[in-house]
Chains A and B, each alone.
Chain A
């Protein structure tokens, strides 16, 4: 069973286990490329940055784009290009890890609550609601004050802040799917909760859940920069992109590239994440068999 060639040349086909192929459109591919680009930068940024991150290299603050400083200099005269390259590690790493953790935990717990129902659902939902009531920055402040600031702590804190929303969202979707007859059929077959969650419910809520993930990612990048501003996030002289925008915000009135380039970096990452999520590869089902 090989997939016959269709005249549709705009579709990329990734061969998969003989009878399966995937269609992946251009917008999704562009999104994926940008994400991969930033991931690579996050890993190798350290070696390709032209200047050390914390070193004041120019005498002029908010310097324009030049051959020496590709993205100008910041309010202290540090090279923005190097700082953006190094910031990728924090923004991409922390935000992606946190959003993945938050959504995974929220969705799994939400589906469990929907399928199990009863006391489990009631207790978990009220607990998560109560947790949701704590202001996020305050929570971050307390955690960092208690255990100190490190990257794992930041990731876990951000994940904890965004988990309740993902839980609520997934539970609401899963409750609807759970009431469908096909879930009842699977139950009557004797399937376990894990199968119901993974195979019957998850595929039917995946679209909205991924769209939610894209939005949540944007929020996490913003909260991360907020935490950095309070001195709880990434510690100077390192900085994530959000922090770069904040510390150079005065340069906006001067038209300094120092504030524009980190903003472009944030925009390109968040938009590409959403582009990729909205245009995931879809399986081509071979109908001419």
Chain B
């Protein structure tokens, strides 16, 4: 890092005015530099202001927000002091942006190539033919298949990982000095994420552009960034090289982030129970699917002949990529999506496939908790009503007895009793997920089906939820079926792991020895694709290209 930095931000303040006219400070005096060719990562939980800072480098503040102070210098320009027209000239040519959701960033009705070279047309950089040639060059550099013709497809005709790389091509075509990556791999599956990261890294290394990489995932950042800026509540907590942040974090918050990333291996509950006890859940040859039935088989079959057993007091993890049928499995066990073939036995008792044919006791004993607590809690009911309903429904509790039990349940999930008068919209994401859990506990279940319950939460919050699940298990002798695409979460809580691929059960593994005992090629690919907190992981990663071609849906 010699000479003047490419970007220097000093004492940046961004604020917003709420509906009630109250002023809120979002970014409070942030300052940093980026040298030419350097990649800086902005890391922090949701609401920490990382995206807001990244967008401010283009002089953009989201609706309702305004840059209130400080200087943002990019190259020769003071972005904060520029007019909107001047900023428009800057965007795309000097600073460009790769959004989180490429699918939402592309216009579905136009061909990809037209959208990729749009920047060159807007800024009159080069003639169309030259721009198309440059785009093809970028497609090749980003390791896209069929680089000469892929541009003539429409956005829905390429996969999610490809679309994300195409949106990077769109950002790079104007030859900017600074590229902003806003969580570009967060929505992708792990196996796809690797491909995208590799492509980004090789392009950035070749072009010597500077970058800002916004992410909440330390392991991903470790692969691509030179330096890391740790943010919380709009303030810089710690700044340092990637090596230093990962290996010798100084700030307590950074330490907390890293601790939350490294899973505490799950210690199985002491196996005092006899081996011959009936398993709490016994799934035998389960088949389920969507669409109208023809000859008793739905048009699109998702689950194909899934069988497994879950012993009482133990936890079962189900992993797999999106579309592997994990959630469908949970839904058909719960009866929300009736299975068309196969049997589900709860504690040895066979349950009818459809909800309405199951008895109240059967429904009570197995509860399902959904991923998005936002949509799983009725926005019109108070927390007390939400938790109180199963108490009334299954246990016939009323009045003060019910209220007392609601307070007890809130305490069980470590929430204050006063929260019962609030509406779900007045709670944070982690609190909502706790309420979601408390509602399931109110039924006094023996089995809880957790469908990606920590996936929408920040690392630190998710770790706290996992700890809570473990504690509750000790107290209430619960069994969990834990569905997740995140292997470290599964490792942290489960005894056994099932790997699913395209609706089929590929392999069953003990969670603690997942990586060493995996035999099936798909499980090995999946396990090896999880980013590690190690700067050399991506570079040293060796994956069998045939395996990748066979299983990864790119």
Question: Contact residues of A with B, CB < 8 Å?
Answer: 180-182, 184-191, 199-200, 203-204, 206, 285-289
> Which residue on chain A has the smallest CB distance to residue B384?
A285
Given contacts A189-B363, A190-B355, contact A181 B421 (CB under 8 A): no
Is there an interface contact between A185 and B368, defined as CB atoms closer than 8 Å? Answer: yes
Q: CA of A187 to CA of B335 in the docked complex: distance in angstroms?
A: 10
B381 / chain A contacts, CB cutoff of 8 Å: 199, 203
- The answer to whether B370 and A285 have CB atoms under 8 Å apart is no
User: Are B380 and A204 in contact, CB atoms less than 8 angstroms apart?
Assistant: yes
A203 to B377, CA, bound (A): 13
Partner of B370 from the list A185, A189, A200 (CB cut-off 8 Å) is A185
| Residue pair A180, B375 in contact (C-beta under 8 Å) | yes
> Would you call B499 an interface residue if the criterion is a C-beta within 8 Å of the partner chain's C-beta atoms?
no
Instruction: Report the minimal beta-carbon distance from B281 to chain A, rounded to whole angstroms.
Output: 15
Q: Which of B360, B370, B418, B422 contacts A190 (CB 8 A)?
A: B360
Residue of B nearest to A285 (CB): B421
- Residue of B355, B378, B423 with most chain A CB atoms under a 10 A cut-off: B378
A185 to B372, CA, bound (A): 12
Collect the chain B residues with CB atoms within 8 Å of residue A288's CB: 418
Task: Pick the most buried of B375, B394, B421: most chain A CB atoms within 10 A of its CB.
Answer: B421
CB-defined contacts of B417 to chain A, threshold 8 Å: 289
Beyond A185-B376, A289-B418, whether A191 also contacts B393 by CB under 8 A is yes
By a CB distance below 8 angstroms, the chain B residues around A286 are 421
- CB <8 Å contact, B336 and A184: yes
Q: Which residue of A lies closest to B366 (CB)?
A: A188
**Distance of B402 from chain A, by nearest CB (Å):** 14
A-B contact pairs, 24 of them (CB 8 A): A180-B375, A180-B376, A182-B375, A182-B376, A184-B336, A185-B368, A185-B439, A187-B336, A188-B355, A188-B368, A189-B389, A189-B393, A190-B363, A203-B378, A203-B381, A204-B378, A204-B379, A204-B380, A285-B382, A285-B423, A287-B418, A287-B421, A288-B418, A289-B418
Measured in the bound complex, the distance between the Cα atoms of B421 and A286 in whole Å is 7
Alpha-carbon distance A274/B422, docked complex (angstroms): 28
In the bound assembly, the distance between CA atoms of A203 and B382 in angstroms comes to 12
Q: How far is the CB of A208 from chain B (nearest CB, A)?
A: 13
Q: Of B336, B378, B393, which one neighbours A182 at CB under 8 angstroms?
A: B378
**Nearest Cβ on chain A to B514's Cβ, whole angstroms:** 30
Q: Hey, which chain B residues are within 8 Å of A204, CB to CB? A: 378-380
Q: Which chain A residues border B335 with CB–CB below 8 Å?
A: 188
CA of A188 to CA of B423, assembled, Å: 22
Q: How far is the CA of A185 from the CA of B393 in the complex (A)?
A: 13
Is B219 part of the contact surface with A, judged by Cβ < 8 Å? no
B510 close to A (CB within 8 Å): no
Closest 5 CB pairs of A and B: A203-B380, A181-B376, A181-B375, A190-B363, A182-B378
B40 contacts A by Cβ under 8 Å: no
Q: Is the CB of A181 within 8 A of B393?
A: no
Q: Are the CB atoms of A182 and B377 closer together than 8 Å?
A: yes
In the complex, the answer to whether A187 meets B380 with C-beta atoms within 8 Å is no
Return A21 CB to nearest CB of chain B, in Å. Answer: 12
Please measure, in the bound complex, the distance between the C-alpha atom of A162 and the C-alpha atom of B352, giving whole angstroms.
43
**Whole-angstrom distance between the alpha carbons of A289 and B393 in the complex?**
26
Residue of A186, A188, A191, A287 near B422 (CB, 8 A) is A287
| A182-B375, A189-B389, A285-B422 known, 10 other contacts, Cβ within 8 Å | A185-B370, A187-B336, A187-B355, A188-B336, A188-B368, A190-B355, A203-B380, A203-B381, A285-B421, A287-B422
CA distance A186 to B423 in the complex (A): 18
Is the Cβ of A289 less than 8 Å from the Cβ of B421? yes
Give the CA-CA distance A200 to B360 in the complex, in Å: 19
**Closest beta carbon of chain B to A120's beta carbon, Å:** 15
Task: Determine if B172 is an interface residue (Cβ-Cβ < 8 Å).
Answer: no
State the CA gap A27–B334 with chains docked (Å): 48
Provide the bound-state CA to CA distance between A182 and B380, in Å.
Answer: 11
Which residues of A lie under 8 Å from residue B358 when comparing CB positions?
Answer: 190
B390 on interface, CB distance cutoff 8 Å: yes
**Closest chain A residue, CB of each to CB of B417:** A289
Neighbour of B443 across the interface among A181, A189, A203, A206, CB < 8 A: A189
Chain B nearest CB from A114 CB (Å) reads 16
Question: How far, in whole Å, are A103 and B283 apart by their CA atoms in the complex?
Answer: 47
CB distance from A186 to the nearest CB of B (A): 8
Which parts of B416-430 form the interface with A (CB within 8 Å)?
417-418, 421-423
Assembly CA distance A124 to B439 (angstroms): 35
How far apart sit A265 and B421, CA to CA, in the bound complex (Å)? 42
Contact A189 B390 (CB under 8 A): yes
Assembly CA distance A124 to B367 (angstroms): 34
| A289: chain B residues within 8 A (beta carbon) | 417-418, 421
| Alpha-carbon separation in the docked complex, A288 to B416 (Å) | 12
Pair B393/A190 contact, Cβ less than 8 Å? yes
A185 to B367, CA, bound (A): 9
The minimal Cβ–Cβ distance linking A60 to chain B, given in whole angstroms, is 57
In Å, the complex CA distance between A161 and B94 comes to 62
A289 to B421, CA, bound (A): 9
Q: When chains A and B are docked, how far (Å) is the Cα of A13 from the Cα of B380?
A: 21
A188 CA / B333 CA spacing, docked (Å) = 11
**Alpha-carbon distance A189/B382, docked complex (angstroms):** 18
Most buried by B among A180, A186, A191, A204: A180
Contacts of B382 in A (CB 8 A): 285
Bound state CA distance, A204 and B380, in angstroms?
6
Closest to A288 in B: B418
A residues less than 8 Å from B375 (CB atoms): 180-182
In whole Å, how far is A100's beta carbon from the nearest beta carbon of chain B?
Answer: 22
Interface set, chain B 377-405, CB cutoff 8 A to A: 377-382, 389-390, 393-394
What is the CB-to-nearest-CB distance from A285 to chain B, in angstroms, rounded to a whole number?
A: 5
Taken together as a complex, chains A and B put the C-alpha atoms of A187 and B334 apart, in Å, by 10
Question: Min CB distance, B51 to chain A, in Å?
Answer: 26
Q: Which residue of A lies closest to B373 (CB)?
A: A181
Chain B's closest residue to A179 (CB) is B375
Report how far A186 CA is from B390 CA in the complex, Å.
Answer: 9
Of residues 243 to 285 in B, which have CB atoms within 8 Å of A's CB atoms? Answer: none
Min CB distance, B444 to chain A, in Å?
Answer: 13
| Chain A nearest CB, measured from B426 CB (Å) | 8
Residues of chain B contacted by A200 (CB below 8 angstroms): 378
| Cα distance A64–B421 in the bound complex, in angstroms | 59
Determine the distance from Cα of A204 to Cα of B377 in the docked complex, in whole angstroms.
12
Assess whether A181 is in contact with B372, with CB atoms less than 8 Å apart. yes
* B-chain residues with CB within 8 Å of residue A187 when the two chains form the complex: 336, 355
**A206 CB contacts on chain B under 8 angstroms:** 380
Q: How far is the CB of B462 from chain A (nearest CB, A)?
A: 19
- B334 to A188, Cβ gap below 8 A? yes
Q: Of all chain B residues, which has the CB nearest A20?
A: B421
Output the nearest chain B residue to A204 by Cβ-Cβ distance: B380
CB distance from A31 to the nearest CB of B (A): 23
Nearest A residue to B394 via CB reads A189
Which chain B residues border A180 with CB–CB below 8 Å?
Answer: 375-376
Tell me the nearest residue of chain A to B379, going by C-beta: A204
Most central of A182, A199, A200, A285 by chain B CB within 10 Å: A182
Query: Chain B, 530-553, contact with A by CB distance < 8 Å: what is the 0/1 string?
Result: 000000000000000000000000
Residues of chain B lying within 8 A (CB to CB) of residue A186:
389
Contacts of A188 in B (CB 8 A): 334-336, 355, 363, 367-368
Contacts of A185 in B (CB 8 A): 368, 370, 376, 439
* Distance of A191 Cα from B378 Cα, bound (Å): 15
A206 and chain B: residue at smallest CB distance = B380
CA distance A190 to B364 in the complex (A): 9
User: Which chain A positions have C-beta within 8 A of B421?
Assistant: 285-287, 289
